[in-house]
Structure 1
Amino acid sequence: MKRLAIGALLLAIALAGLVIFLNLRGESPIREAQALAPPAADSIARGAYLMRAGNCAACHTDRGGAPLAGGRAIDTPFGTVYASNLTPHAAAGLGGWSPDHFWRALHNGRSKDGRLLYPAFPYTHYTMVTRADSDAMFDYLRSVPAVDRANTPHKLRWPYSTQAALGVWRALYFTPGEHVDDGSKPAEWNRGAYLVRGLGHCGACHSSRNALGATSDMMDLSGGVIPMQNWYAPSLSAPSEASVAGWDTAQVVRLLQTGIAPRGTVLGPMADVVKQSTQHLAPADLQAMAVFLKSLPEGTAHEQKSSALEMGPRMAERGAKVYEQHCVQCHGARGEGVPGAYPALAGNRALRLPVTSNLVQVVLGGGFPPATAGNPRPFGMPPYATVLSDADVAAVISHVRHAWGNNAPAVSELDVAQQRSSSTP
């Protein structure tokens, strides 16, 4: 027994050492904060642009709070993470940080004191950010007004609240990386790859996650349900979901810049991305992202785990009636829609997605494209949560999924009821 105990202890020590070693990969010596010269104006401007590209303010600005002062709650399956204060306040923010500290946070997912950061902060993607871009972002953050707002402690369940558990997670699922240009591709493609995979962290939403919140491939863009939000980010590689391989490049640019295009409209979380981030990017960067997204190898559609539901005659009759009462005025009797205002439903691949959560979200909560410079007064859909019953919602969604050649399976009343209850505060 004594030998077994000693063996177990040695094994535990070895595993702990392995975890520590794996978590120190890519680490560089840290220079402590020193008196820094005021950042140059061009570096501040570049950093501000890169922060937009990374959509950093979306998480690090609380609703009604000071810009980048943190405090916003980010719900996860393991508890609540609160975004940190990025302003240069000496005690509450990044005032005591050096450029090395900031680089380590982006590249290695560590705070100034060496603590491991939770991957709600997408360092799993920001690890691709170059050191030059990191330094420019830090210069910008040094220039914003300092806000005395202490960071809110995270509220995570045990053992997810422990550094040990996070260390094991990182050993299993995170390896620091870097962006390396593909010499066989043009510069425009490489720039698009850098923005989509790194700063844009598109895979943070457009990838499926396992029970521990990790993806099998951090660069994967094959679609996934966004945790805690009840929205499905469709596959960017599957033609039946959200691939843009068959689009004109100008259409992809328009979608990212304005939120609407002849073949698609963004709603939900993606509308926030366009509003706060991509509409502000330079046309050359949007063009680069479009070129990269169009080049993605064709993937397969997400598989719906639940069995396909057939629409019976009673549901069909109910769905047609609800559509006539509430939908036909905008979307037309034949689902043709109104160009530039209300999307066509006939032949709309968003209606045929195997995951139907987005449709339920839009009918219950409404949906508007973002207000952008190119589309300042977007047309949208009002919420029907207080107007339609679960049976009505299931019937009308099933109707539009089946009509006009869409031929997709029906949606059950139970699916609607579950999503309505999970979306209720």
Structure 2
Amino acid sequence: MKRLIKFTLGAGVVLAGAAALVWVLNSRDEIDVSAPVAAAAASDSLIARGAYLARAGNCMTCHTARGGEPYAGGRSIDTPFGAVFTSNLTPDEKTGLGTWSPAHFWRAMHNGRSKSGRLLYPAFPYPSYTQVTREDSDALFAYLKSLPAVAQPNKAHALRFPYQSQAALAVWRALYFSPGVYKPDTSRNAEWNRGAYLVNGLGHCTACHTARNVMGATEGLDLSGGLIPIQNWYAPSLVSPHEAGVGDWDRQEIVNLLKNGVSKRGSVNGPMAEVVQGSTQYLNSEDLNAMAQFLKELPGTSAPGSPKEPEIALMAGSPSAADAVAPGSVAALGAKLYEQNCAQCHGDKGQGVPNAYPALAGNRAVLMPQTVNLVQIVLNGGYAPATAGNPRPFGMPPFVLVLNDTDVAAVLTHIRGAWGNQASAVSPLEVNRIRASSGR
């Protein structure tokens, strides 16, 4: 009995200590929202600055449901743990930010807490937004308060047990979230620091371009690539010259890609096309150049002495080498399907058409070990965003109803092994998995 009592007491002490530690870690750098704030009309310049920053953060894309009012929320963000619905950011007093103060909004950005103090789910990327300065947060808030109020109640999240509980979220935050405003690197110039601030803060590029663990947390800010959960797109590494690293690119080509969605060295598709469509095309040249400098100088982005690669897609020779990675029957099928469906645009030797259809020969997006993006594009089509610099982009039609899993695998295996390309084969099982995940 004494041993049981001692064990129970000991376990209680351990649990109490763990709970206290979780509470302390969740209270780090907490924002005081108790002080009254005198209401003051925001200046036009502050609102304009906030509108620009909202573009930089691509806020409207997530906080607008399809066919809904801008910033009124209601869009479902699917996660491996269930669905999270975005909140109403319009100044409606009952369902939006109408009764919030700048301090409440700053706490949401910096600490990941709602007005009531409730912990927010990191589908709202506060692990990145915590780096945003108070000044920029206040400008964002001024802009959102200037919007027309929309009375649209927020939808309850649909998360599975135990992920729907505040206790579980508090443990997650204690393990993986640490608040802190961006601190400039004094060894770098102001332009590099501005680029780092935009990429790692409002741009929240880490949310896609860094791998997540089983608990859905990104490990650091390494930007080394990762599969986007549920969407089944691979956000390529921004530090690898073999994926989407731009260390050997001319800075203007990086700016063109972010501004127009296309450049001489590449084009964007998939989720990155949405980023350009809703965000980066609206940034000014100073910020785009700052981001370009930061991305060019990421560790590992250049491979000294390596030849420059042909045009790539997705930032998103010999007649055939497919026989080296696939049986003769598969290689023959892939070559036939390519001739019938692909050669008209991409060329009989995978050379592509400049400013229209990307080359496939030597294309690093084609050669990456991760093949999910290739399967997605063949099944569902690939489209660059319409921008001021590229208002009528060329696109690729979907083949989801034309090619079966074996066909898609065969033609991709052919492309990855032809014209000097030397990449592994794609299996029908890989294609089936992607098709099934998209309900097609």
Superposition TM-score tier, normalisation by shorter sequence: over 0.9
SS at match of 2:209: coil
Q: 2:74 aligns with which of 71, 74, 92?
A: 71
- Give the SS at the match of 2:419: helix
CA contact (8 A) 1:32 1:97 kept: no
Find the residue that maps to 2:227 and give its secondary structure. Answer: strand
Corresponding residue for residue 14 of structure 2: 11
Equivalent residue number for residue 339 of structure 1: 354
After superposition, the C-alpha distances for 1:189-211 in whole angstroms (9 at most, x for unaligned) are 01000000000000100010010
Aligned AA (1:369): A
1:266 touches 1:369 (CA, 8 Å); kept in 2?
yes
Distance 1:33 1:279, change over 3 A: farther
Q: Which moved more, 1:29-38 or 1:349-358?
A: 29-38
Q: Which residues in structure 2 correspond to 1:304-319 (within 5 Å)?
A: 310-319=325-334
Which residue number in structure 1 is paired with residue 288 of structure 2?
286
Q: Which residue of 1 aligns with 2:424?
A: 409
Please say if 1:213 is aligned against 2:216: yes
1:91-119 alpha-carbon deviations (Å, 9 max, x no partner) = 10001111011000000100000010000
> Residues 19-418 of structure 1: matches in 2 within 5 Å?
19-31=22-34, 34=37, 36-217=39-220, 219-298=221-300, 310-418=325-433
**Structure 2 residue runs without a partner (length 5+):** 304-323
Distance in 2 (CA, whole Å) between partners of 1:75 and 1:28 is 29
Identity %: 61
Once the two structures are TM-superposed, the CA of residue 342 in structure 1 deviates from its matched residue by 0.4
Query: Deviation string for 1:224-269 (max 9, x for gaps)?
Result: 0000001000000001000000000000000000000111110000
Q: Distance in 2 between matches of 1:404 and 1:37?
A: 65
TM-score by structure 2 length? Answer: 0.93
Gaps of 5+ in 1: 302-308
In structure 1, how many angstroms separate the alpha carbons of the residues matched to 2:142 and 2:83? 29
| 1:354 to partner: Cα distance | 0.6
Post-superposition Cα deviations, 1:270-299, rounded to whole Å, max 9, x if no partner, equal: 000000000000011000000000000106
1:362, 1:7 → 2: CA distance?
57
Question: Residue 222 of structure 1 contacts residue 299 of structure 1 at CA under 8 Å; is this kept in 2?
Answer: no
For residues 103 and 200 of structure 1, what CA distance do their matches in structure 2 show?
17
Residue 28 of structure 1: how far off its partner (Å): 2.6
Which secondary structure state, in structure 2, belongs to the residue aligned with residue 251 of structure 1?
helix
Distance 1:33 1:375 in 2: 48
Map Cα deviations across residues 141-199 of structure 1 (whole Å, 9 max, x no partner).
Answer: 11000000010000000000000000000000010011111111111101000000000
SS of 1:94 mapped into structure 2: coil
User: Cα 1:265–1:419, aligned 2, differ >3 Å: closer, same or farther?
Assistant: same
Counterpart code for 2:268: V
Q: Distance in 2 between matches of 1:177 and 1:81?
A: 25
- 1:351-403 superposed Cα distances (whole Å, 9 cap, x missing partner): 00111000000000001000000000000100000000111100000111111
Structure-2 separation of matches of 1:353 and 1:33: 55
Q: 1:32 to 1:78 in 2, by over 3 A?
A: farther
Aligned residues: 417
CA distance in 1, matches of 2:138, 2:181: 15
Rounded Cα–Cα distance in structure 2 between residues aligned with 1:173 and 1:312: 46
Q: Deviations over 1:293-348 (max 9, x none)?
A: 000010699xxxxxxx9311111000000000000000001111110000011110
| Contact 1:33–1:96 (8 Å) recurs in 2 | no
Q: Which amino acid aligns with 2:76?
A: A
Q: Following TM superposition, where does structure 1 have runs of at least 4 consecutive aligned residues deviating by more than 6 angstroms?
A: none
| SS of alignment partner, residue 225 of structure 1 | strand
Aligned residue type for 1:232:
Y
Q: Distance in 1 between matches of 2:36 and 2:122?
A: 25
Q: Distance in 1 between matches of 2:341 and 2:32?
A: 63
In the alignment, the residues of structure 2 paired with residue 180 and residue 215 of structure 1 have an alpha-carbon distance, to the nearest angstrom, of: 20
Q: Distance in 1 between matches of 2:79 and 2:136?
A: 29
SS at match of 1:404: coil
Question: Could you say which residue in structure 1 is the equivalent of 2:320?
Answer: none
> Is contact 2:64-2:75 (8 Å) kept?
yes
Instruction: Determine if contact 2:30/2:107 at 8 Å carries over to the other structure.
Output: yes
Question: Any conservation in 2 of the 1:360–1:393 contact (CA below 8 Å)?
Answer: yes
- For residue 31 of structure 1, report the CA deviation from its aligned partner: 3.3
Letter in 2 for 1:346: A
- Determine the C-alpha separation between the residues in 1 that align with 2:161 and 2:302: 37
> What code does the residue aligned with 1:233 have?
A
TM-score for both structures, normalised by structure 1:
0.97
**Which residue is equivalent to 1:304?**
none
Partners of 1:63 and 1:72 within 8 A in 2? yes
Looking at structure 1, the residues matched to 286 and 424 of structure 2 have their Cα atoms a distance apart, in angstroms, of: 41
